[in-house]
Amino acid sequence: MDNLSEPLLAEIIKRIAKTSDCNSLSLVSKQLYTIDAEQRDVIHVGRGLHPATEALASLCSRFPNLWKVVIDYSGWISIHGKQLDNQGLLVLSSHCSSLTDLTLNFCSYIDDSGIGYLAYCKKLRSFRLNFAPAISSRGLLSVAVGCKSLCTFHLVDCMKVGSVEWLEYLGRAGSLEELVVKDCKGISQYDLLKFGRGFMKLQRFEYEINGNYWSSAARDPAYVAHYPYRYDICCENMKELRLAHIVTKPEIGLRFLLGKCRALEKLWLEYVIGLTDNDVIALFQNCGNLRSLSLRLIPLLCHAIYFRTALTDDSLKALALYCPMLQVLELTFTFCSEDYPSEVGFSQEGIVNLVQSCPIRVLMLNGASNFDDEGMKGLSSSRSLETLELVDCMFIGDLGMRSIACTPNLRNLTLRKCVCVTDNGVSELVHAQNLESLTIIGCHRISLKAVQGAARSVYYSAESEKHESLKGMKMTRSSK
């Protein structure tokens, strides 16, 4: 390697993805050590920093061109040694003049004084904060004021954050393109309205609050009953929107986004209480570019008589009519009883008609207690469907597998807790020899032996919970 030019060696180092491999290569010679130091622009550190501040200072000195730093203390306990504290962020801001992307995960020793040092990082464009119990709104405001180039901001599980002066400031600056706020109980959906004109440039927005969100929903202080009420906020550039675990009412709160995001391409509505067919129909009418949709629904009391998920086939018909580019669809029905299929507001026919009308390549049905083998027969006629995931679909059985095995372009199939599918159904897949991948999890009537040869790549787990780590077996075959 002594005969290789420095540009060629630099190109080789750039193509090495694993940090451990880069570290090993840099020990081969002084030349490689020097080139690696010049080329390394991303580091991911955490529990291995001992002593934390001194070790980070050493890394920053060795790698002068760092632009992305991830400091991650997930899984940390006291025996791992002292975490990086405020002094560490002072070191980072002083040494990394090119820093544009910073993530702090589970950094419990950093408070407002520490992130105040980030105001010196004038090139910082992306800041992600995940579980920072000591950081409050005051610290966030210092970042908002000092980092004029900020365009991505994630705030997750930060319980001390309450007032939203930082959010108002970012909204007035109008530089953010991506905003994520999750599990911050001190920030209501009405607080987010103070972002104001910042929504104009925003391309991706997520808001989620967990816990007993349905019983402690905040109220909009500006709302006046029986008075026409609309938010004069523009969000024409929004391409990705996710609302999860919120309670909405007509004309109030983040519900207004559903009528204004005309550029929307990806949409997640997860357990949003208060939505109606009229809301989503109005949304679909304005979203001809929608390509991906996830709807997660729970049954609610309807007309004070029975329980049903709020949306019906009317929404599916509008989706098929106004969103001809839809390619990815997830329909999840949580807490819908298998004894009462009517709790699912969408009919089996409505779901099948949608899949047949749109070029849907990826479909996930979760908890569809009204979907059976006849529905699978309808899906099998789709020429676009490539990936199908069925979760907890109690009434899909072996006849459904026979139908789906004939789907022209189906290449990936996942079955989770589909208890009516047996080895006989899997044999239909083996016979068809069409699948690239097959995943079987928690289907107790399917044996490991039966899935062998059903696809080029097979994952099998008898466990229905924590399937990623329990009794997983991956098999491959060289040819069909």
pLDDT one-digit tens code per residue, 273-309: 989 999 999 999 999 999 999 999 999 888 767 899 9
Domain 46-187 is found in CATH 3.30.420.40: no
pLDDT of residue 479: 34
Q: Domain map of the chain by residue range?
A: 1-40, 46-187
Mean pLDDT (whole number) for 401-420 = 96
Q: Tell whether the model's pLDDT for residue 478 goes beyond 60.
A: no
Q: Are 123 and 99 in contact (CB under 8 A)?
A: yes
Q: Tell whether the model's pLDDT for residue 467 goes beyond 90.
A: no
Secondary structure class of 142 (helix, strand, coil): helix
- Among 1.20.1280, 3.40.630, 1.10.150, 3.10.350, what is the CATH number of 1-40? 1.20.1280
Query: Cα–Cα distance between 177 and 184 in angstroms, integer?
Result: 20
Query: Cα–Cα distance between 263 and 201 in angstroms, integer?
Result: 12
What is the pTM for the complete model shown?
0.87
Query: Cα–Cα distance between 319 and 324 in angstroms, integer?
Result: 8
For the record, the structure tokens of 338 come out as 């298998």
Mean pLDDT (whole number) for 394-410 = 96
Q: What is the pLDDT of residues 301-336, one digit of tens each?
A: 887 678 999 999 999 999 999 999 999 999 999 999
Of 472 and 47, the structure prediction assigns the larger pLDDT to 47
Mean pLDDT (whole number) for 25-32 = 67
Q: Tell whether the model's pLDDT for residue 97 goes beyond 60.
A: yes
Query: Cα–Cα distance between 312 and 331 in angstroms, integer?
Result: 12
Q: What is the pLDDT of residues 351-386, one digit of tens each?
A: 999 999 999 999 999 999 999 999 999 999 999 999
Mean pLDDT (whole number) for 247-251 = 77
Of 339 and 292, the structure prediction assigns the larger pLDDT to 292
Least confident of 1-15, 111-125, 175-189, 244-258: 1-15
Identify the helix (H) or strand (E) that includes residue 152: strand 152-156
Q: Tell whether the model's pLDDT for residue 202 goes beyond 60.
A: yes
Q: What percent of the chain has pLDDT over 90?
A: 68
Nearest in space to 394 (alpha carbons), one of 376, 373, 420, 424: 420
What are the beta bridge partners of residue 300?
308
pLDDT band (50, 70, 90) for residue 216? low
